[in-house]
Amino acid sequence: MTPDLRRRIEGLAVLVGFTACIPAANWLVGNVGTVCVPEGPCLIPVAPGLAAPSGVLVVGLALVLRDLVQRRLGRYWALAAIGVGAILSVIFAPPSLILASTTAFLLSELADLGVYTPLQQRGLILAVVASSVVGLVVDSAVFLFLAFGSLEFLLPQIIGKTWMVLVSIPVMSWLRRRDERIGMPVCT
């Protein structure tokens, strides 16, 4: 298999994974957690004494996967994926959270793209971590403000999403080394 064909196949697989994150995050929030608040989210512990809605893990993963969509397929595919993700957010978010969920998704993914794009030439790990951190802060702040008019739970949201970014670092490091070894072309 040529490196270019491998890049396209991996890109499509990452695109499917990114797209699946939106309904998965919305499903998790309502169904999986150590505690499920009546008429509210299901929560998971993210640090000692802190809990966040369970979807935060998948949202953190989505930010990393968006970067990989761009790395494998290019910026226009990444923008298209953000558009599809926003539509899925409208479809899968609970009715009371559609505006907050969709707006937070759009703004955070666009912020991620805006940071990742110029940094990717300086290094994959730097670009993924920096863009994901910016994206997860934007996502958390916008969602909490629009959904609840409060930033009271900002820290647990940020911590929960950061876990997925941290878990991705060894994978991104391996991917970068493998790409260099096989001469995998990188899209911008």
Query: Are the C-beta atoms of 180 and 64 separated by less than 8 Å?
Result: no
Tell me the pLDDT band of 155, cut-offs 50, 70 and 90.
very high
User: What pLDDT, on a 0 to 100 scale, did the predictor assign at position 187?
Assistant: 83
Contacts of 85 (CB under 8 A, 6+ apart): 18, 19, 21, 22, 62, 105, 109
The model's confidence at residue 1, banded by pLDDT at 50, 70 and 90, is confident
CA pair distance 61, 107, nearest whole angstrom: 16
- Inter-helix orientation angle 124-148/154-182, to 10°: 150
CB 86 within 8 A of CB 110: no
Give the up-direction half-sphere exposure of residue 103: CA atoms within 13 A in the CB hemisphere.
12
Q: What is the pLDDT of residues 109-129, one digit of tens each?
A: 999 999 999 999 899 999 999
Could you please state the CATH topology (level 3) that the domain comprising 3-182 is classified under.
Arp2/3 complex 21 kDa subunit ARPC3 (1.10.1760)
pTM: 0.91
Give the chain's mean pLDDT: 92
Query: Are the C-beta atoms of residues 38 and 104 closer than 8 Å to each other?
Result: no
CA-to-CA dists, residue 155 to 34, 52, 150, 165, 183, angstroms: 19, 9, 12, 15, 40
